[in-house]
Structure 1
Amino acid sequence: MSKQVDVQDLKKGMYVIDLDRPWTETSFMFQGFEIRTDAQLRELQRLCRHVYVADHEGVVGVHQGDRKTAGAAGSGAVSGGDPRQAEVLAGSLAARRGPSIHGEPIPLEAEMPEARRLEADARAIMREMEDDVRLGRNINERGLQAIVTGMVDSVVRNPDALIWFTQLRDKDEYTALHSIRVAILALAFGRHLELTVSELNILGLGALLHDIGKLKISNDILNKPGRLTDQEITIVRSHVPEGVKILESLRHIPLAAVEVAACHHERYQGGGYSRGLSGDHIGLFGLMAAIVDTYDAITSDRAYHAGISAYEALGQIYALRNKEYHGGLVDCFIQCLGTYPLGSVVELTTGDVGVVIAINRQRYLRPKVALVRRADGAPFPAGAVVDLAAGREQTSSGVEIRRVLPVGAHGIQATDYMPLVT
């Protein structure tokens, strides 16, 4: 049940079901949300005259549970009361206004060449690290730190450039590429949360090395296509303490970076491993890593499952907010990647099919799309692009995204539509 409410009578805790105008005309991420901040109230009052809110206690009750757990994150009870983590999490749950501490991004095309170089260098040093761990040699800590520093600088300049390279997949190099992708996504996430450059360097290093313990586990188990035995599950889970042991033995790896490896399989309501932590005791970097690691894992092809679309992955993670993952951080991660992440294959209301090539972070439902296939199956000419946030005269009377298609639909490879890299 729902009831119409004048926007001047709205209060925090009400759950907005619908507006008096299309959602696509607003900047709200979700078509339905609980009002939690003054900024959300002001935005609703600015845009609408009235909205429709849940009128049944059972409907709102689902979200009252969210409020209980999310409220703890904003209260300062984070990882033993670390005030900096409390500050970041409290800020993540509020709608921010004003310029980022990192400034405005430079044009995507300008950053792509450097992003390509960094991704290639990261592959090389991760292969070197894998050999060093397996052969018992000293790890090139300085080289790893230099790569992360370069990635941080790139993400600060324009996060979408390196995010495009997370589209590159190779099952034969899963562990290394997964670690690189997790590092890129964690850095973009951290930039979105306004982490400082120093904090980003620590987070990025921990993310890049979060699965280092898997190098002590047989590939026959890691890549087993069938169901794992209880003993094999125990072995796989041992990669967390093994990774912590390796990282703690290194001289130049900050403790906060080690926490990424230690906590990326912990879960918000408990039930994760290997410390059995829950809630804010997991710590900010661990809470972030759990989201990012899961996202990349379920969008990747493995011997035991096919990867799903980024859009589906975000939906699955959102469904587990305040259960497996911190609710406020889930919301921020979706905002970071966009409702339709880069590389998503989408069908428009015209029936045309294309690939999302740029995110509009003011209007999440209206990205820029490279047009690939017409509704009748005929191909578009190379370079055809539609900006769904442009005026109606430029988008065939207000074209919108009708649905997201499965990965590889119509034989489309998203990487074929990456911005040109010279």
Structure 2
Amino acid sequence: MKKKIPVEDLRPGMYVSELDRNWRDTPFLFQGFEITSEEEIEELKRHCKHVFIDTNEGSDVSPKPRRVAATSFTAVASGENSKERIIHLEKVVENFAPWHRHAPRYQDLTTLDEEIGQAKIVVTNTREAVYDIMEDVRLGRSIDTSGAKKVVADMVDSVIRNPDALMCLNQLKKKDEYTALHSLRVCVLALAFGRHLDLSDEELNLLGLGALLHDVGKMKVPNDIINKPGKLTEEEFTLMKSHVPCGVDILEQTHGIPSVAIDVARFHHERYAGGGYAIGVKGEDIGLFGTVGAIVDCYDAITSDRSYHAGMSAHDALKKMYSWRGRDFQPVLVEQFIQCMGIYPIGSVVELSTGAVGVVISVNRTRRLKPKVAMVLNPDKTPFTPAKVIDLMHQEGAGPGRELEIRKVLPPGAHGVLPTKYIPLGG
């Protein structure tokens, strides 16, 4: 039963279901958490005059023992919470078992063309926020948690409407801005993957916040080590690995970041069969957010140009990651990530059955082999004019009796085709 009470009457054990204002105007990630300390009550007093408690979820008159929810404001990486991470991971994995069919939670609400303009604004704001966060960490200042939550919430809204817009903008990569833009791209990838996994709006906000902040510890590692073109020495690699515990420590000392969100930073270099760092956990102990973080962090790293390697194509990266399933990543989740990205990910340069060349600009979430393709070159490899986008689902341009389909994926730069020239970028 819900009950409206003044904040002065709050005490540990009560479950706050609603605030007297929008959650985005407070340090709390979202409404709905159990009070576990006097400090939380003091924080509520600073922002609210009254709240609504749910006596079915928490105590009314006297505190009673209750398991802290995985999305609780004060969720911690304790043994009990670790158990919840495992249960949550198992539940998500079970949803994608061959015998378990379910309707997806989300349907596209906008087209790519409708969403791309708003997505561009979101990326611009998020990019600025990431640079501010990185600079604050580098100088030892507090992270602007509310600002980070705001840009993540905007990204969640865009991904729920149509994830392809932000995924198109994810193709814009600059080697000299890798660390900052990597955090932005990992956030986009995590949210698109989380949407595919049917995570709730609240869970997407938690996942996105953790993904955006997962690499803050790198601000404490010298740039000459991060950008070293050659192989790191054992001492240098030890220093590089320190970015994980350093980042976790920074986030744990930052007010308003739940531990389940910090799991992305805590576990994104752990590996399914072991052998990762910095804790050395494996299997389901990595948890859902840690596993998602590990998958999307790896994908962006191996598809990006760095000082020490050239990024591989998205298609090749997904094939490589598939071969690593069971060793580096939870098998079902890496398979679902490939499903999420599409057999032909956005930005892929492809050759069609006619010999024409195009760039994939939008995936088909029901028919993975039938994306939308921006036509670039005719079969004789002359420029395709006028510009045209073909939806392979409807086989436009195939001709009588001919089925237009993708014959193969071409390597990056084939025929001089630069994908970012052809994907929608919002004008």
Structure 1 position 392, deviation (Å): 7.7
Structure 1 position 347, deviation (Å): 1.1
SS in 1 for 2:170: helix
SS in 1 for 2:118: helix
Calculate percent identity across the aligned residue pairs. 52
2:181 maps to 177
1:418 maps to 423
Give me the whole-angstrom Cα distance separating, in 2, the residues matched to 1:140 and 1:388.
Answer: 44
CA deviations over 1:150-189 (Å, ceiling 9, x no partner): 0001101111111111101011110010000000000000
The letter of the residue matching 2:156 is V
Equivalent residues of 1:346, 1:402 under 8 A apart:
yes
Equivalent pairs, count: 346
Give me the whole-angstrom Cα distance separating, in 1, the residues matched to 2:105 and 2:392.
Answer: 28
Give me the whole-angstrom Cα distance separating, in 2, the residues matched to 1:169 and 1:393.
Answer: 32
SS in 2 for 1:200: helix
1:386 maps to 390
Q: What value does the CA root-mean-square deviation take over the aligned residues?
A: 1.9
Moved more, 386-395 or 298-307: 386-395
* Alignment counterpart, residue 276 of structure 2, candidates 269, 272, 276: 272
CA deviations over 1:263-304 (Å, ceiling 9, x no partner): 000000000001111110110011111111110000000000
Give me the whole-angstrom Cα distance separating, in 2, the residues matched to 1:292 and 1:105.
Answer: 24
**In the alignment, is residue 112 of structure 1 matched against residue 138 of structure 2?**
no
SS in 1 for 2:355: coil
SS in 1 for 2:188: helix
Equivalent residues of 1:163, 1:184 under 8 A apart:
yes
Give me the whole-angstrom Cα distance separating, in 2, the residues matched to 1:317 and 1:365.
Answer: 19
Structure 1 position 369, deviation (Å): 1.1
More helix by share: 1
1:223 maps to 227
How do residues 207-246 of structure 1 correspond to structure 2 at under 5 angstroms?
207-246=211-250
The letter of the residue matching 1:303 is S
Specify every segment of 5 or more residues in structure 2 that has no aligned partner in the other structure, as ranges. 1-80
Moved more, 387-396 or 163-172: 387-396
How do residues 15-414 of structure 1 correspond to structure 2 at under 5 angstroms?
79-80=82-83, 82=85, 83-94=87-98, 97=101, 99-391=103-395, 394=398, 397-414=402-419
Q: Structure 2 vs 1, CA of residues 238 and 97 (structure 1 numbering), >3 Å: closer, same or farther?
A: same
Specify every segment of 5 or more residues in structure 1 that has no aligned partner in the other structure, as ranges. 1-77
Structure 1 position 351, deviation (Å): 1.5
Q: TM-score, normalised by structure 2?
A: 0.78
SS in 2 for 1:102: coil
SS in 2 for 1:342: coil
Structure 1 position 345, deviation (Å): 0.3
Q: Structure 2 vs 1, CA of residues 138 and 170 (structure 1 numbering), >3 Å: closer, same or farther?
A: same
Equivalent residues of 1:388, 1:395 under 8 A apart:
no
1:10 maps to none
The letter of the residue matching 1:406 is P
CA deviations over 1:93-130 (Å, ceiling 9, x no partner): 34765643234432111111110001011111111111
The letter of the residue matching 2:422 is Y
Q: TM-score, normalised by structure 1?
A: 0.79
Give me the whole-angstrom Cα distance separating, in 2, the residues matched to 1:382 and 1:418.
Answer: 16
